[in-house]
Amino acid sequence: MKKTVNKLIPLFLIMAMIFAITACSNKPKSQSEDLKKVTVVLDWTPNTNHTGLYVANEKGYFKDQGLEVEIIQPSEGTSDTIVASGKAQFGISYQESVTYARAADVPIVSIAAVIQHNTSGFASLKEKNILTPKDFEGKVYGGWGSEVEEATIKYLMDQVGADFSKVKIMTIGDADFFQASASGQIDFAWIFEGWAGIEAKLKGIELNYIDLGKEAPVFDYYTPVIITNETVLKDNKDLVEAFMKAVKKGYEYAIENPEDAADIFIKAVPEVNQELVKESQKFLAEKYRADVALWGLQNTEVWQRYTDWMYENGFIDKKIGVTKAYTNEFID
């Protein structure tokens, strides 16, 4: 038996239906539909050099600037080539790499120094008794096969009258520094104090460490840096401004709140050594900004000094205009 429907629908029901239909048709787009998608490519696997990016993502700083940011690792090529090609708008690189690129007319630009001073250097097990570059004589260096490594070691040894020809250079690539050292395969290697140096302390391993930037001012260059390409700077300056506002806020948060920043990083990259991340984050909290007024600032002298060294040692065939290789426009 069919049910009958009263054709005389009360007025208030009609008004309610109209209101509901109107409300649905005027429903605003979701925030994600309005966000501009941006890609940032890392230089390597995620580590505490990158924490400010992950903080900016987690804390909503990117969304506040109208951005939806994807942080990726380079699957093919380097961050420099990926950013230069436009496949990513931003990336993490190094002053050395940017200098190489500019000398080859690849138009990438550094827009911020992630860490104010070079936190890398040469490390060895304490029992090796390598205290100065003079002690490199007769030792085996384990590196990743770059000519810059050899030139850096030679320069340091020359400064103290040591004989570079007495150093044996061995390419070990990504081999574990601790295993290679303990087995006697190598005597010293180039490490980042804020990562491998912290890891050594956690493992109870005593190291001798020669701070590269303190040993020779020319090597106190920016590593890492944040890069973009000239096309983005020219055609999408508002994007760079928005991105850098969020990134700067992310690193400032990491400076003031290293423990919470470490937790944010661990949440984003749960496969990492959590204890190492927490201790590394405490170390870098004092290094990100160091002795300058604002996080990210870059200095012409630092750029010029290392560029001159690369040119004098034949790594680039022409000097670059360093003021075009970097900008503080989005930091000041």
CATH code, domain with 90: 3.40.190.10
- 161 with 192, same domain: the answer is yes
Q: Which residue shows structure tokens 């400064």?
A: 159
Domain count of the chain? 2
Task: List residues bridging with 92 in a β-sheet.
Answer: 226
- 316 with 246, same domain: the answer is yes
- 111 with 226, same domain: the answer is yes
Higher pLDDT, 31 or 123: 123
- 110 with 37, same domain: the answer is yes
- The residue-averaged pLDDT of 136-152 equals 96
- For β-strands 90-93 and 36-41, DSSP reports them as parallel
Q: Record the pTM.
A: 0.88
At residue 32, the pLDDT reads 54
- 97 with 243, same domain: the answer is yes
With 0-12 / 13-18 / 19 or more C-beta atoms within 10 angstroms meaning exposed / middle / buried, residue 213 is middle
In a domain, 245, yes or no: yes
- 55 with 92, same domain: the answer is yes
In a domain, 308, yes or no: yes
> Distance between terminal CA atoms of the chain?
78
Amino acid 57 reads: N
In a domain, 7, yes or no: no
- 133 with 212, same domain: the answer is yes
- 97 with 42, same domain: the answer is yes
- The residue-averaged pLDDT of 271-299 equals 98
- 170 with 311, same domain: the answer is no
Residue that finishes a domain, picked among 219, 237, 259: 219
Q: What percent of the chain has pLDDT over 70?
A: 90
In a domain, 8, yes or no: no
Residue that finishes a domain, picked among 219, 250, 284: 219
Where in the sequence is the domain holding 106, given as residue range(s)? 32-116+222-325
In a domain, 27, yes or no: no
Confidence band for 50, pLDDT divided at 50, 70 and 90: very high
Instruction: Please give the structure tokens belonging to residue 120.
Output: 């890398």
In a domain, 237, yes or no: yes
Residue that finishes a domain, picked among 186, 219, 252: 219
- 96 with 144, same domain: the answer is no
In a domain, 20, yes or no: no
- 86 with 129, same domain: the answer is no
Angle at 77 between CA 313 and CA 63, to 5 degrees: 110
Long-range Cβ contact pairs of 158-162 (< 8 A, separation 24 or more): 159/133, 159/216, 160/132, 160/133, 160/134, 161/134, 162/133, 162/134, 162/136, 162/137
- 126 with 247, same domain: the answer is no
Instruction: Please give the structure tokens belonging to residue 325.
Output: 């290789």
- Check pLDDT > 80 for residue 158: yes
Confidence band for 33, pLDDT divided at 50, 70 and 90: low
At residue 45, the pLDDT reads 94
d(CA 272, CA 167): 35
At residue 77, the pLDDT reads 87
